[in-house]
Amino acid sequence: MTNYKKKIDKLNLFGVKEVELTLDDVVYFDTAAAIFINSLREDFFQKNIKTNILTANKDIAETLNLVEKTKQKSQPLPKEIEKTYLEHIGIIFYNYYIGFLAFTLFLGEVFSAFFSYFTSIKNIRFKEIFFEMNESAIKALGIIALTSFLIGLVIAYQSAYQLKIYGANIFIVDMLGISIFRELAPLMTAIVIAGRSGSAFTAQIGAMKITEELDAMKTMGFEPFIFLVLPRIIALMITMPILIFVADIMGIFGGIIVSYVDLGISVSLFIERLNEVVALKHFVIGLIKGPFFAFLIASIGIYRGLMVKNDTQSIGFNTTKSVVESIFAVIVCDALFSIIFTNLGI
Partner 1 sequence: MMQSLIKLRDVRTVFGTKVVHDGLNLTVNKGEIYGLVGPSGCGKTTVLREMVMLQDISGGSIEVLGHNLVNISKRDAQKLRSEWGVLFQAGALFSSLNIKENISLPLKEYTDLSEKMIDEIVKFKIAIVGLKSSDALLYPSQISGGMKKKSALARALAMDPKLLFLDEPTSGLDPISAREFDALILKLRDLLDLSIVMVSHDLQSIYATLDRVAIIDEKKIIYEGDLKDIKNSTNKFIQTFFRRDFEQ
Backbone angles phi, psi at 52, to 5 degrees: -120, 135
22-41 footprint of partner 1 as x/- string (CB under 8 A): --------------------
**What secondary structure letter does DSSP report for 27?**
S
Of 43 and 213, nearer to partner 1 (C-beta) is: 213
In the bound complex, what is the minimum distance in angstroms from residue 171's beta carbon to partner 1?
52
* 221-250 footprint of partner 1 as x/- string (CB under 8 A): xx----------------------------
Residue 120, interface with partner 1 (CB under 8 A)?
no
Residue type, 169: N
> Is the Cβ of residue 219 or residue 343 nearer to partner 1 in the bound state?
219
Stated as kind and residue range, the H or E segment containing 65 is helix 58-73
Instruction: Considering the complex, state which of residue 12 and residue 120 has its C-beta at the smaller distance from partner 1.
Output: 120
- Give residues 186-225 in contact with partner 1 (rule: CB under 8 A): 207-208, 211-213, 215-222
The residue count of the chain comes to 346
Q: How many CB atoms lie within 10 A of CB 33?
A: 18
Binders in 309-338 for partner 1, by CB under 8 A: none
Alpha-carbon distances of 151 from 71, 157, 189, rounded to whole Å? 71, 10, 11
- 178 CA to centre of own chain: 33
Residue closer to partner 1, measured from CB, 47 or 309: 309
Using CB atoms within 10 A of its CB, is residue 160 exposed (0-12), middle (13-18) or buried (19+)? buried
CA distance 76 to 269: 85
CB of 301 to partner 1, least distance (A): 17
Nearest-approach distance from CB 131 to partner 1, in angstroms: 10
Which amino acid is residue 72, in one-letter code? Q
- Decide whether 255 or 305 has the Cβ nearer to partner 1: 305
Give the residues lining the site for partner 1 (CB under 8 A).
207-208, 211-213, 215-222
